[in-house]
Structure 1
Amino acid sequence: MRLIELLRSASEWSDEDTTIYVAPEWSGNAEAILVTPAPDTTEPVVRDGRRYDYFLETFVAREVIEDYASTAEGAHATEEERCNRLIRYAQDDA
């Protein structure tokens, strides 16, 4: 599943011990998975021969998405803009 598709289901994510991992290079089109329970490390995981890098815990990702949506800029943002904002947060602030 692509990261942008995964973000569409944010309201369905469990807040319990679930982490998003994304295949390099991070973009809305990058392959993404949810890992439950979350590993005790931020080291990459390998699933079906593909490497996925730690991205964010689902509860953090949901909070960032909701906070951005409540701003003037985020209120009218496209899915791609919301996804890019979350990627920037994961790269720069997490």
Structure 2
Amino acid sequence: MRKSAIESLLELDRRRETFELPPLATHLKHTIHAYFQEQDFTFHIPGQQVIIHKLPVDLRMVFISIGKSAPYKVFYRITSQNIEVFLIRHPYQKPLD
């Protein structure tokens, strides 16, 4: 995960703290890692392509559910057989430009 993705997770936990909810970042990080580990990229590339101002043009977005919550948006790209996660957004966060 890139530094920006880690910052996304920390921002989500700060937001949860304002609602007196327990932190979720570690569990979310492990769930995202497990999701990508289970994918066979030779057969299918998950998610849809997205374009976000000031971010690389080859980004894709997948929805990953954690428990019963609405799915989180995970923005990633594939670089030389590696998965690079850029951002993680809560479903109710403001949209990115």
TM-score range, shorter chain: 0.3 to 0.5
Relative to the length of structure 1, the TM-score reads 0.34
Structure number having the greater helix percentage:
1
User: Looking at CA atoms only, which structure, 1 or 2, has the larger radius of gyration?
Assistant: 2
